[in-house]
């Protein structure tokens, strides 16, 4: 984390796949996955519905809650090979989402008791329209960076991601021992 102004964390086990920024002096423990980056583009791609779907399908579960497993969900995820304009659009949508979430979590003038009930889980349970709109804008930008029409259904997104993962694995001469992945139900 040396030299970073912030970095991303996500809980290993959570009802929602949420990524949040933390200060570089924060020491993560084993309950979170830390990702060494400080750019809004990466945050946007990881917080998108595209990555969430990948993580849900390729991750594991603890009881009924999804578990984020870096080896199968992060390391195999085929990020879009986005140009500068697409990266900027994703970064702007991600920054706006982050700003909205922080504003909801800690608005001025609230008591400590009120603030203690303002968690991201509670926010996503409520799913206000402004949050859905911010995620839609982010998802549009991410899908556009892949060159896909918006919106794609989940099966199409997963099919495209698996194909992209395979083509990149083949291009790098990776073997089936650790290179490409297959979607659930594929052979």
Contact residues for 159 (Cβ-Cβ < 8 A; gap 6+): 183
β 32-35/60-62 pair status: unpaired
Query: Average pLDDT of 58-85?
Result: 94
pTM above the 0.85 mark? yes
Rounded Cα distance between 24 and 1, Å, is 6
Evaluate whether 32 touches 67 at the Cβ level (below 8 Å). no
Evaluate whether 98 touches 21 at the Cβ level (below 8 Å). yes
Model pLDDT for residues 163-181, shown as the tens digit of each residue: 999 999 998 854 445 555 5
Query: Average pLDDT of 54-60?
Result: 95
Q: Which structure tokens are listed for 85?
A: 């304009």
Residues comprising the chain, all counted:
187
Model pLDDT for residues 13-29, shown as the tens digit of each residue: 999 999 999 999 999 99
Q: Looking at residue 62, what is its pLDDT? A: 85
């Amino acid at each position: 984390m040396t030299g970073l102004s912030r970095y991303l964390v996500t809980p290993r086990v959570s009802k929602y796949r949420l990524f949040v920024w933390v200060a570089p002096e924060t020491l993560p423990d084993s309950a979170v996955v830390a990702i060494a980056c400080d750019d809004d583009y990466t945050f946007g791609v990881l917080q998108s519905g595209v990555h969430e779907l990948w993580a849900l399908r390729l991750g594991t579960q603890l009881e009924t809650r999804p578990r984020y497993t870096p080896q199968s969900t992060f390391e195999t995820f085929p990020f879009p090979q986005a140009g500068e304009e697409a990266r900027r659009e994703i970064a702007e949508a991600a920054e706006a989402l982050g700003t909205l979430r922080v504003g909801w979590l800690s608005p001025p003038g609230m008591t400590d008791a009120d603030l203690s009930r303002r968690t991201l889980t509670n926010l996503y349970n409520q799913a206000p329209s402004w949050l859905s709109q911010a995620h839609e804008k982010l998802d549009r930008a991410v899908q556009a960076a892949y060159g896909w029409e918006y919106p794609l259904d989940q099966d199409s997104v997963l099919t495209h991601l698996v194909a992209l993962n395979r083509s990149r694995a083949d291009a790098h001469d990776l073997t089936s021992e650790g290179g490409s992945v297959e979607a659930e139900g594929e052979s």
